[in-house]
Amino acid sequence: MLDEFSAQQVTIDVLKHLERRRPAIVADEALVKAEIENALEPVRAAYRESELPQPYLDALVEELLATIPARWLPAAQRFTSLERRDFALWRGGDVVARVTYVFIGLLIGGLCVALPFIPIWENGSPSSSPPPPSGSPPRRSPSKNAATRAPSARSRARSARRNPSSTGI
């Protein structure tokens, strides 16, 4: 069987046709059935031209006429009513309520930043150590023990000036 005559493809083509005409036909089921018949005319013509068995097309048309209006019409009516109301985005335009929500959001956001018991790290990574509490000395990075590291030239010169007998001269 050809894909262009499969139940899925014919249904998609009929639904596309109905959606193009939805605002004009959604209020009347008889108009919907008439539009389904109009959408099926090119399918019928192509089916006759292909000389395929007629019982399949008759069963398909009968199924589409029984199923599509019952399934598509309620969804199309809800969508069209929402579309006519601009999907209720403004809902009457209660400006005072919307401004109040904005200020409440800003207040909560400001409190989250200002309160000291909510740790906020500079780099945004919770795996890093938090900053030291105020009033305590800053942390130092771990360094090598003074006894295990090699003395620099400057420190050797300083110690030679302080203690001339340790230089071995």
Q: Report the alpha-carbon distance of residue 109 to residue 106 in Å, rounded.
A: 5
Q: Report the alpha-carbon distance of residue 112 to residue 145 in Å, rounded.
A: 42
Instruction: Tell me if 64 sits within 8 A of 36, measured CB to CB.
Output: yes
Record the tokens describing residue 45, joined without a space: 């013509």
| Per-residue pLDDT tens digits of the chain, which is 169 residues long | 578 899 999 999 999 999 999 999 999 999 999 999 999 999 999 999 999 999 999 999 999 999 999 999 999 999 998 888 877 666 666 778 888 899 999 999 988 888 776 666 666 665 656 566 666 666 565 555 555 566 677 777 777 777 766 555 5
pTM: 0.54
Going by C-alpha positions, the residue among 147, 130, 148 that lies closest to residue 139 is 130
The residue type found at 67 is T
**Number of other CB atoms surrounding residue 64 within 10 Å:** 20
The residue type found at 112 is C
